[in-house]
């Protein structure tokens, strides 16, 4: 990816509506009791009243959830019309996983009167836990009946696991003088590591775009958003980022790169970068969002590698939870990354809404006020700015601090 992707507030405007903001889409959510004693929604449908251009990206983990196998097969024709998704059980490492994923698609297709291969299926939750088709049999027809333009909140609830906040955003933008909408919902707070940081995200748009260009846009934006988020270095077995485009906006179909494609990418980025940041901020047990920028690297890859190594360091993350300006751990994490740089040129700043402070210059300590640093790092959104002083490429990565609560949340997740 050569060009720089950014959010342009003049052309892209945030609106409400989440995964139902775009024309043609409805959603619903329900508590299907997939996990015993759960009090929350755990099953959802997102539906479009016509077949859409569709594309998806998946986890790079070699151990893949059965739903991924089925969704991949269904998306080979670049078309989809509905999503059936559950939390509470990842349907991964189960002997009958494919059977269940296919069964869920069949039930959904039947309830909605659509083709089975136009159904996207996804699951999130515990791995290797037996699962049955029963919750789908009992609830899919109810979900189909409940579908509505206002169902986005119920659906968003249903995909949350250890998430503490809903992650849904939508934007409005113009393409070819037509008003377009793009929105979505996302979940993920642990097991968040590059190569798709979130476990699940569903994007809908009424823009008219081919499935090939939709896939290209997803890939490009994913590289600078979800792929730059790290909560704990674990990469999930079930990560799925799927998008459907209804075309109801009536713009000329985007079938190649150009000005229209760039506007679409900018709109997609504006939603996905919010997902990325909210996912990092909502990292399991996190008390703050950490944004690490690496500037002036020889090349993009160096900048990315360095930023992710810093964001990933458990020692730095633990220091950040105590607002401790332990910049030596920044240097240490840079040093053990595969990034290529000259230690003696590196400067490090800490910043937040209350100020910015230099702590390291030319690779060695720079006098600073510990009090000021503590104040800066005590904010709930802090920045680490690393200048390699060598080239002119940069990268941004997002993560969070490591707190007691991360351990607590993950110690007995299955119970």
Residues binding a copy of itself (CB under 8 A): 60-64, 90, 92-95, 126-130, 190-191, 193, 232-237, 312-315, 318-319, 321-322, 324, 326-329, 331-336, 341, 343, 360, 363-365, 402-404, 406-415
Smallest gap from Cβ 191 to a copy of itself, in A, equals: 6
Rank residues 29 and 65 by Cβ distance to a copy of itself and give the closer one. Answer: 65
For residue 276, CA distances in Å to 82, 168, 233, 258, 331 come to 24, 11, 15, 26, 25
CB of 352 to a copy of itself, least distance (A): 18
Cβ proximity of 320 and 382 under 8 Å? yes
CB of 254 to a copy of itself, least distance (A): 34
Three-state secondary structure string covering the chain: CCCCCCCCCCCEEEECCHHHCCCCEEEEEECCCCCCCCCCCCEEEEEEEEEEEEEEEECCCCCCCHHHHHHHHHHHHCEEEEEEEEECCCCCCCCCHHHHHHHHHHHHHHHHCCCHHHEEEEEECCCCCCCCCHHHHHHHHHHHHHCECCCHHHHHHHHCCCCCCCEEEEEEEEECCEEEEEEEEEECCCCCCCCCCCCEEEEEECCCECHHHHHHHHHHHHHHCHHHECCCCCCCCCCEEEEEECCCCCCCCECCCCHHHHHHHHHHHHHHHHHHHHHHHCCCCCCCEEEEEEEEECCHHHHHHHHHHHHHCHHHHHHHHCCCCCCHHHHHHHHHCCCCCCHHHCEEEEEECCEEEEEEECCEECCCCHHHHHHHHCCCEEEEEEECCCCCEEEEEEEECCCHHHHHHHHCCCC
| CB nearer to a copy of itself: pick between 185 and 339 | 339
Residue nearer to a copy of itself on the CB measure, 109 or 223: 223
Nearest distance in Å: CB 186, a copy of itself: 20
Instruction: Compare residues 82 and 310 and give the one whose CB is closer to a copy of itself.
Output: 310
Beta bridge partners of 384: 292, 350
Q: Please identify, using beta-carbon distances, which residue of 206 and 239 lies nearer to a copy of itself.
A: 239
CB of 412 to a copy of itself, least distance (A): 5
Cβ closer to a copy of itself: 22 or 310? 310
User: Please, what is the minimum distance in Å from the beta carbon of residue 367 to a copy of itself?
Assistant: 9
CB atoms within 10 A of CB 92: 24
Q: Which entry of 92, 124, 198, 293 is annotated as an active-site residue? A: 198
Per the annotation, the verdict on 237 as an active-site residue is: no
Minimum CB separation from a copy of itself for residue 326, in Å?
5
Q: Point out the residues that are catalytic.
A: 198
């Amino acid at each position: 990816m050569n060009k720089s992707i950014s959010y342009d507030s003049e052309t892209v405007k945030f609106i409400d509506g989440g995964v139902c903001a775009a024309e043609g889409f409805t959603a619903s959510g329900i508590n299907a009791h997939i996990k015993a004693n759960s009090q929350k929604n755990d099953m959802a449908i997102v539906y479009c009243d016509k077949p859409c251009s569709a594309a998806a990206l998946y986890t790079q983990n070699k151990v893949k959830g059965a739903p991924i196998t089925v969704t991949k097969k269904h998306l080979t024709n670049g078309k989809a019309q509905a999503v059936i998704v559950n939390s509470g059980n990842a349907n991964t490492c189960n002997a009958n996983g494919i059977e269940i994923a296919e069964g869920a698609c069949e039930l959904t297709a039947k309830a909605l009167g659509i083709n089975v291969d136009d159904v996207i299926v996804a699951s999130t939750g515990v791995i290797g836990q037996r699962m049955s088709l029963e919750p789908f049999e009992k609830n899919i027809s109810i979900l189909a009946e409940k579908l509505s333009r206002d169902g986005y909140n119920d659906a968003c609830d249903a995909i949350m696991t250890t998430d503490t906040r809903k992650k849904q955003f939508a934007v409005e933008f113009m393409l070819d003088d037509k008003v377009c909408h793009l929105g979505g919902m996302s979940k993920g707070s642990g097991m968040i590591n590059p190569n798709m940081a979130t476990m699940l995200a569903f994007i809908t748009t009424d823009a008219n775009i081919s499935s090939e260009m939709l896939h290209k846009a997803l890939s490009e934006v994913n590289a600078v958003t979800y792929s730059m988020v790290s909560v704990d270095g674990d990469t999930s077995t079930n990560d799925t980022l799927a998008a459907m485009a209804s075309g109801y906006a009536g713009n000329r179909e985007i079938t190649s790169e150009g000005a229209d494609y760039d506007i679409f990418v900018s709109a997609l980025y504006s939603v996905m970068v919010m997902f990325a940041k909210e996912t990092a901020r909502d990292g399991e047990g996190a008390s703050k969002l950490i944004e690490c920028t690496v500037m002036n690297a020889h090349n993009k890859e160096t900048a990315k590698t360095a930023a992710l190594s810093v964001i990933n360091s458990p020692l730095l993350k633990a220091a950040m939870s105590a607002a401790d300006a332990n910049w030596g751990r920044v240097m240490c994490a840079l040093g053990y990354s595969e990034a290529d740089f000259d230690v003696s040129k590196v400067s490090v700043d800490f910043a937040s809404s209350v100020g910015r402070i230099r702590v390291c210059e030319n690779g060695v300590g720079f006098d600073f006020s510990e009090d000021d640093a503590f104040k800066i790092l005590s904010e709930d959104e802090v920045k680490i700015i690393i200048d390699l002083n060598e080239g002119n490429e940069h990268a941004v990565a997002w993560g969070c601090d490591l707190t007691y609560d991360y351990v607590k949340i993950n110690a007995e997740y299955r119970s």
